[in-house]
C-alpha cells in the first residue's frame, strides 16, 4: 500500500502555478492508471486503485500548501499507512526546470509544504522534487512560485509528466535513484 501526494493550492487561479506541479502529476497518475473518481476526504481530494497489483491512494490536499501535513496525517492514521510508504510530488526552486530528483527523507530546503508534512508525519517519506528553476529577474520567490508556467514550460511539463508516468513502477519499487536517472534520461 502506497500513498501518492501532490502538493499545490486548491484555488482555480492556482491551477497552472509552478507551485501546483504536484497536483498536475496526481491528476495525470489518476488518469493514466484509471484510479477512482476524486472524492473529498481527509481534507483533500482522494482517489484509490491499483497499479501493478499495489494498492494506491493518491491525494491532493485542500488545506493549502503550507498546511499539507494536516491532510496527510489524517489519511495515514486512518488507513494505517507507514510514512515510509508515502511519496510526495512537489515543486523545487533549487533544481533546474524540468529535472527530477527523488530522495528519501532529508531537509525541507525552505519548502513550506514539505515543512508542514515533516511536522505532522516526520521526515521518513519519499519526495519527488520537480525542478521549476529560479526566477531570472528580481521577482520575489513567493511571487515566482505562484506565477503560471509560460506556454513553452507547459509543453515541456507535459513531456516531463509523461516520463514520470512511464517510471511509476520503478517508484513503486522505491528505487529512487533509478527513478530519477531514468526519468531525466528519457
Task: Give the residue extent of every domain in the chain.
Answer: 2-184
Angle at 148 between CA 166 and CA 110, to 5 degrees: 80
Percent of the chain past pLDDT 70, that is, above it, reads 100
pLDDT digits (tens, 9 = 90+) for 134-177: 888 778 888 899 999 999 999 999 999 999 999 999 999 999 99
pLDDT of residue 70: 97
Bridge partner list, 131 = 92
What is the maximum span of the chain, computed from C-alpha positions, in angstroms?
Answer: 48
Verify whether residue 19 is a known catalytic residue. yes
pLDDT at 156 (0 to 100): 94
pLDDT (0 to 100) of residue 136: 81
pLDDT tens per residue, range 72-93: 999 999 999 999 999 999 999 9
CATH topology (fold) of 2-184: Rossmann fold (3.40.50)
Return all residues near 153 (Cβ < 8 A) that are at least 6 apart: 97
Sheet strands (E) in the chain: 2-6, 39-41, 44-51, 54-61, 86-92, 100-104, 126-131
Q: Using one digit for the tens of pLDDT, what is the confidence trace for 58-67? A: 999 999 999 9
* CA 52 distance to own-chain centroid: 20
4, 133 contact by CB (below 8 A): no
Asked if 3 and 86 touch (Cβ cutoff 8 Å), the reply is: yes
Predicted confidence at residue 135, as pLDDT, reads 85
Q: What's the mean per-residue pLDDT of the chain?
A: 95
According to the model, what pLDDT value does residue 77 have?
Answer: 97
**CB 138: neighbour CB atoms within 10 A?**
5
Give the 3-state secondary structure of residue 140: coil
Strand partners, 49: 56
30-37 mean pLDDT = 97
Instruction: Give me the sign of the Cα torsion angle 84, 34, 161, 149.
Output: negative
What is the Cα–Cα distance from 106 to 122, expressed in whole angstroms?
Answer: 10
Q: Is 22 helix (H, G, I), strand (E, B) or coil?
A: helix
Question: How far does the chain reach from its first CA to its final CA, in angstroms?
Answer: 27
Amino acid at each position: 500500500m502506497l500513498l501518492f501526494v501532490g502538493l499545490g493550492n486548491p484555488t482555480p487561479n492556482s491551477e497552472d502555478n509552478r507551485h501546483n506541479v504536484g497536483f498536475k502529476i496526481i491528476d495525470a497518475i489518476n488518469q493514466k492508471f484509471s484510479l477512482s473518481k476524486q472524492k473529498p476526504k481527509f481534507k483533500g481530494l482522494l482517489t484509490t486503485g491499483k497499479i501493478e497489483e499495489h494498492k494506491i491512494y493518491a491525494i491532493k490536499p485542500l488545506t493549502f500548501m503550507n498546511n499539507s501535513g494536516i491532510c496527510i496525517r489524517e489519511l495515514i492514521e486512518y488507513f494505517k499507512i507507514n510514512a515510509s510508504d508515502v511519496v510526495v510530488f512537489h515543486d523545487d526552486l533549487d533544481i533546474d526546470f524540468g529535472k527530477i530528483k527523488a530522495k528519501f527523507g532529508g531537509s525541507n530546503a525552505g519548502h513550506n509544504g514539505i515543512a508542514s508534512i515533516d511536522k505532522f508525519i516526520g521526515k521518513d517519506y519519499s519526495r519527488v522534487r520537480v525542478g521549476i528553476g529560479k526566477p531570472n529577474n528580481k521577482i520575489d520567490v513567493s511571487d515566482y512560485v505562484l506565477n503560471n508556467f509560460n506556454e513553452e514550460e507547459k509543453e515541456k511539463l507535459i513531456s516531463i509528466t509523461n516520463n514520470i508516468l512511464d517510471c511509476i513502477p520503478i517508484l513503486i519499487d522505491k528505487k529512487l535513484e533509478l527513478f530519477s536517472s531514468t526519468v531525466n534520461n528519457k
